[in-house]
Structure formats: structure tokens, C-alpha cells
Structure 1
């Protein structure tokens, strides 16, 4: 089941003396998170209005309504920020990582079950998916169009056409 509120990042510190927060983004980038105007604490239980945000190196500098001093900001260190999936429009064939984790990975041609998608690792050129088999062995699958055939988040299935040598011994 899709979660309405998704983890977006963690407050890792303060910036300046006027209550600005340093946030480590847990999404594609700080620039992606900077586009969000409403964030939440505690899986959506408390709405937060973003006054301003900007990218600083790999972090997001964030000013929230009602947080006006460095002391108030420092008290938020370690807190997790959430975003509402309704506030984000993803391009076609793009998915929230949190929705992908736990998908059953099947062979697109034979239906063979390879295991569950347990991790998504960004590598720069393309992501790499970690698939954990029933035998608890981890396999690395490149997230490229030649390999990933279909992703059905609602059905809980990812169909792949694996490259030779990923799940079997190549000659």
C-alpha cells in the first residue's frame, strides 16, 4: 500500500541565527526538495509552511514558519521531514523509492521469481537495484531500459529481463 506521507529528509543542523535549518535530503536532490512548499512532521500529523528554501552544496537550507531563532532551530536537529505525495507530480516511469522497496522481482519472459527489491542505489549514470533472493543472497540489477521491462507499484511486481550472469553463472 502506498504511504500518503513519505520521508523527505532529516534536519542535521542550523544555519545562521534566524532559525534556518540544514536538511539532508532523502530524495533525488536538494533542488527537488526546494520545490516543496509544505512539509510535515510525524508522518503528516503536523503541517509545516516553508517560508524559504535554497540549495547549499548537497544540503537544503530551509526556513519554516514559526522557527525564528537558532535555539528553536537547534531543538529540531534529528527530526525527520515528510512530504505529501499529492504535492509532487512525478514524470512518467519515475517512482518514489519507498514505493519500490518490497516489490517482487519476476522474469518478464518465464515468470521466475528472483526475490524482493530491497535497496535502490544511485550510481550516477543509472540506479542499481538490489534484489534479495529467497536464499538471502543479494543480486545487483542495473536499472536500465534493456533490463527493467515493467514496474507495477499497485500490483507489487517488477518484471525484468536480466543480463546474463546476474542470477546465473556466465560461461
Structure 2
């Protein structure tokens, strides 16, 4: 597993103090607000302040002292250190699930590989690519077991999936 995980993108500046607007790649912007350090171009950057604003994060970063500094960060990807993240029990980073084998709970056969996870409401949807593409809602009724160590996710499918 990768130590540093891409967690969002700086999409714009905000205000005149050098704040940046970050589009988080997480379930909520509050997740990103909980970090003290982000990584940009593999360099640590301390977060001086961060707050959720609609679906984005407005952050003031160390070393960014004005709009000119902030504009240079536009379109940069921000990453987090896996060790700094406190995930809830049973939660996983999407990047850790992409590429895992998808296995049918009833038959034990491999359905394919998880190639994407779509951030839809009310639940994410797993995209399994094998002999055909299967879309499976990320709910306990269908996702029975995730074992990143073994490299597989066990699903219970219903007819028509």
C-alpha cells in the first residue's frame, strides 16, 4: 500500500490572504480539515487553518503569504500520509480497493477486478470489470468482506447484477 495517498486538488485561490480552495477526494471536506500536514509535490506543507466550505476546503498553508503564492498552487494535487489518517473501523481508502479481486460469496468464483468506485448518493458503487461490467452498491447486503491483505473483496450478488 502506498504511504502517501492523493486526497484532493487545489482548484483555486480564496480571498486575498493566500488561502487556497481544495476539492477533497473524500466522503466529506471535514476529513481533510483534520490534518496538520498535507503533501504537495512530495513536500510537507503545514496547514495553518482549514475549514469546510460547501463541498470544498478553504485552507491557509504555511509559506503561502498572498494570492501570488496561492495561484502557483492551482491544479496541484494534495496528498496525505496514511499514518496521519484515522479511519473508522471497516473503512478503507478507495485507492486500496482499486485492483482487488471481486469474489462471489456463493460460488467462490472470481467475478473480475474492482476497477473504480463511483461516488454516488446515497452510496458509492463498486465497478467490477471481468467478462462483463458489474455495478454493485457499497452496502453491507452486497459487500460481505474486504480483505486488502489477501487482495480480495467478497460480494453477494442478486439475480440481474
TM-score for both structures, normalised by structure 1: 0.91
Match of 1:53 among 50, 60, 63: 50
Match of 1:88 among 80, 85, 89: 85
Separation in 2, partners of 1:56, 1:84: 23
Separation in 2, partners of 1:107, 1:82: 33
- Answer yes or no: is 1:161 the counterpart of 2:156: yes
Per-residue CA deviation, residues 41-86 of structure 1 (Å, 9 max, x unaligned), is 23xx311100000111111101001100100100111100000010
Superposition misfits of 4+ residues, deviation over 6 angstroms: none
Q: CA RMSD in A?
A: 1.0
- Answer yes or no: is 1:113 the counterpart of 2:110: yes
- Answer yes or no: is 1:4 the counterpart of 2:6: no
- Answer yes or no: is 1:62 the counterpart of 2:59: yes
The total of aligned residue pairs comes to: 161
Name 1:35's counterpart in structure 2.
Answer: 34
TM-score for both structures, normalised by structure 2: 0.96
Provide structure 2 residue ranges, at least 5 long, that are not aligned to the other structure.
none
Separation in 2, partners of 1:148, 1:57: 30
Separation in 2, partners of 1:151, 1:6: 19
User: Match of 2:7, SS?
Assistant: strand
User: Match of 1:102, SS?
Assistant: coil
Provide structure 1 residue ranges, at least 5 long, that are not aligned to the other structure.
167-171
Per-residue CA deviation, residues 129-151 of structure 1 (Å, 9 max, x unaligned), is 11011x3x321011111111110
User: Match of 2:6, SS?
Assistant: strand
